[in-house]
Structure 1
């Protein structure tokens, strides 16, 4: 479980060191220059070709060639976001015309216990306090209107890059908010599918934020709902939203996990740990056991569950032990026909994907990263507990274990 701690404000001079520069980071990336450290820099007036809004120090200016959005015909609705692994209320088939979906997210820097058994903790950087951030759901043609808030008690600058959006670095170029600021971004959902979103302040701060939990997923449904390869409608009874997170926790000379007083204090140590490319933990929904035991996902025989899997940083191989992917949108695109009958599917790093399965037997199903080292040793395991009547035609123990031989 997440433990919320108010770290308080740290000195402005130090906070400036922690702020990434999106523009400097983008320029460095284009030039092939790595960031050994994040340095404070002035905020000069800049111009980015094709970007309708640019940040210029303490203000935002509109580009003279920006085309006004035509909002005629749209209806405004509010979407109440909920904590993972659950999904917000939504229609599987769109009703009426396109919507402007209003959502609010707050960037929160919280002390998260990754593994209670070892005491491993991290100052997680989050949207709305959860790892992953909340699932957003829209239909193709809708607009997402996000109010993004960064509390005064935060230490760092944050923003958001939506892989489902078009332009301005996925909105990352228009959403930089310092502590005590808020911004509003509106973008049109033109491509149906499931997509990741994540924080991308710039330079080395991009992997630092993503590997501290600051990512999530959005699902853009076709207006007429999901379909199989023949065009037949597909329906689900519930959504299981699973965010796989790789953490790189620094350790001391004795191999013990280090602790830090406030968010950002681990920056230098974390960057060094991330360079190893060897995660200390690969967990579902923020911590070891977040989706097992009392927190296991629930279903009944006959229920069809849409499993949405997000991994913002590295490839993973989801597998449902005892079940299958009846329909799998492995690359995340709902425009393409789903694959069928898969045993294991690939979720590419920096993307989200979806798999649909109808449970046919009761019992406990383990949903794992089928790199079994990561599942068993690093934490990438969830459980579905399914109620119902056993079907011996599908499986039967003909003879219980008994001694044999001389």
Structure 2
């Protein structure tokens, strides 16, 4: 299969990837005639043209180098969601440069075993969502992003937590066989989305194929409640909600594809309906239930991070609450308290803290219950501990009653 790059861009206007990805993709899917037509009629894009990106890169070269005195370097090992990397809740010492390494991977994933639905997922490190990155306000994140030689597409990364150059998207385009290093300063405390954004129709194509994740920027003195008191958590549950638009054949069966990108034209048609075939947590139906359910104990406090890079969502913990909720993600704002369901805007992440008080199975769902039950947006917390009848008691078990 033809790789989704335009070789001419490498030697001439390499930064014209924002159009090049889509145009090359059109050529691979529909042939040279369509590719020529696409050149005559540029694909609409929300991103600036290559000349603006090149000017931005040139301005960076001419600018004074960043003053890194006073920073210490710390390597952060990425871990698979729903888990979080080792980190400090309260920063010790001065600001740090958090070194992060991620590799783009294009891999076949089963979305729903019951129906056989699958997708050639576009991922960071092979995960949907991509790994959680954690730093503190004032730190710098230094990402090495590598795109393996056997990839079929170019990739990049847009950090909603960063400032400038399309969130880093304008400076991180990597073709197969390339790597880049981007450093950005965390100036805002909160939880934020990151995602791939090559340009044009490739932006939603990559995002809805799993290429998104979250960054948590903690205040240096840690999280605070609405009265300014310290908040601590025992663990993090990192949940990425993913909407998929899987093409079907004329019989209503999910199509199967041999390589990444082969579904491009079919996927664009499915995406235009704005109706997902699946809305799942952490990549697949049931990914956080059964054997893979999240674990906790009565008395433990969990920080739930919820990322949705594309659509609105309404998380709800059935049997529990959001004791403290940063719905819009900003830790510099006082959290809302005792929330039943909270709202995560498409293209953002939010956070909520809850201390479990009863044992049992808690369902964490998108409270659009159609999506939770029919499309897959459900996770489970399995909580161990002693039952408290003061909080809930079955006074009379089910029985027949006289009419």
Q: TM-score, normalised by structure 1?
A: 0.89
Corresponding residue SS for 1:48: helix
Contact conserved, 2:16 with 2:50, CA < 8 A, in 1?
A: no
Rounded to whole Å, the distance in 2 between the matches of 1:199 and 1:95 is: 32
What's 1:259 paired with? Answer: 256
Shift of 1:66: 1.7
Q: Distance in 2 between matches of 1:391 and 1:399?
A: 16
Q: Post-superposition shift, 1:24?
A: 4.0
| SS of aligned partner of 1:16 | coil
For residue 366 of structure 1, give the secondary structure of its aligned residue in structure 2.
strand
2:345 corresponds to: 348
Task: Please tell me whether the aligned partners of residues 215 and 312 of structure 1 are also in contact (alpha carbons under 8 angstroms).
Answer: yes
In the alignment, what sits opposite 2:26? none
For 1:378 and 1:87, the matched residues in 2 are separated by: 26
For residues 277-303 of structure 1, give each alpha carbon's deviation from its aligned partner in whole angstroms, at most 9, with x where no partner exists.
000000000000000000000000000
Per-residue CA deviation, residues 11-68 of structure 1 (Å, 9 max, x unaligned), is 35x6439x99554499xxxxxxxxxx887869xx954279642xxxxxxx66553221
Contact 2:5–2:175 under 8 Å retained in 1: no
Q: Is 1:75 aligned to residue 72 of structure 2?
A: yes
Contact 1:292 / 1:383 at 8 angstroms: preserved in 2?
yes
Partner of 1:199: 196
Normalized per residue, the structure richer in helix is 2
SS at 2:62 equivalent? coil
Match of 2:317 among 308, 316, 320: 320
What residue is the counterpart of 1:212 in the other structure? 209
Are residues 69 and 204 of structure 1, via their aligned partners in 2, closer, same or farther at CA, if it must alter by over 3 Å? Answer: same
Tell me, yes or no, if the aligned pair for 2:151 and 2:176 is still in contact at 8 Å: yes
2:287 counterpart of 1:290: yes
2:274 pairs with 1:274 = no
For 2:358, the equivalent position in structure 1 comes to 361
Q: Which residue of 2 aligns with 1:242?
A: 239
| 1:248 shift after superposition | 0.2
Partner of 1:6: none
CA distance in structure 2 between the partners assigned to 1:383 and 1:390 by the alignment: 18
Alignment partners' CA distance in 2, 1:264 and 1:23: 17
Q: Quote the Cα distance in structure 1 between the aligned partners of 2:61 and 2:319.
A: 58
Report how many aligned residue pairs link the two structures: 377
Q: 2: distance between equivalents of 1:84 and 1:302?
A: 23
CA contact (8 A) 2:5 2:20 kept: no
1:399 corresponds to which residue?
A: 396
* Further displaced range: 132-141 or 66-75: 66-75
Contact 1:328–1:355 (Cα < 8 Å) also in 2: yes
What is the CA–CA distance in structure 2 between the aligned matches of 1:325 and 1:245, rounded to whole Å?
22
1:300 aligned partner: 297
Specify the SS of the correspondent of 1:251: coil
Counterpart CA distance in 2 for 1:86 and 1:365 is: 18
Work out the CA distance in 1 between the residues paired with 2:127 and 2:348: 18
Moved over 6 A (4+): 37-42
Q: Could you tell me how far 1:405 is from its partner in structure 2?
A: 1.0
Maintained 8 Å contact 1:245/1:286? yes
2:2/2:152 contact within 8 Å kept: no
- Match of 2:52, SS state, is coil
Given that residues 160 and 172 in structure 1 are in contact (C-alpha distance below 8 angstroms), is that contact kept between their aligned partners in structure 2?
yes
- Per the alignment, residue 16 of structure 1 pairs with 6
Equivalent in the alignment of 2:24: none
CA distance in structure 2 between the aligned counterparts of 1:304 and 1:52, rounded to whole angstroms: 44
What CA distance in whole angstroms lies between the structure 2 residues aligned with 1:155 and 1:161? 20
Q: Are the counterparts in 2 of residues 87 and 135 from structure 1 also a CA contact under 8 Å?
A: yes
Q: Distance in 2 between matches of 1:344 and 1:212?
A: 27
Cα distance change on mapping 1:15 and 1:169 into 2, 3 Å = closer
Contact 1:113–1:119 (CA<8 Å) still a contact in 2?
Answer: yes
The aligned residue for residue 188 of structure 1 is 185
State the alpha-carbon separation in 1 of the partners of residues 283 and 19 from structure 2: 30
- Give unmatched runs, 5+ long, in structure 1: 1-9, 27-36, 54-60
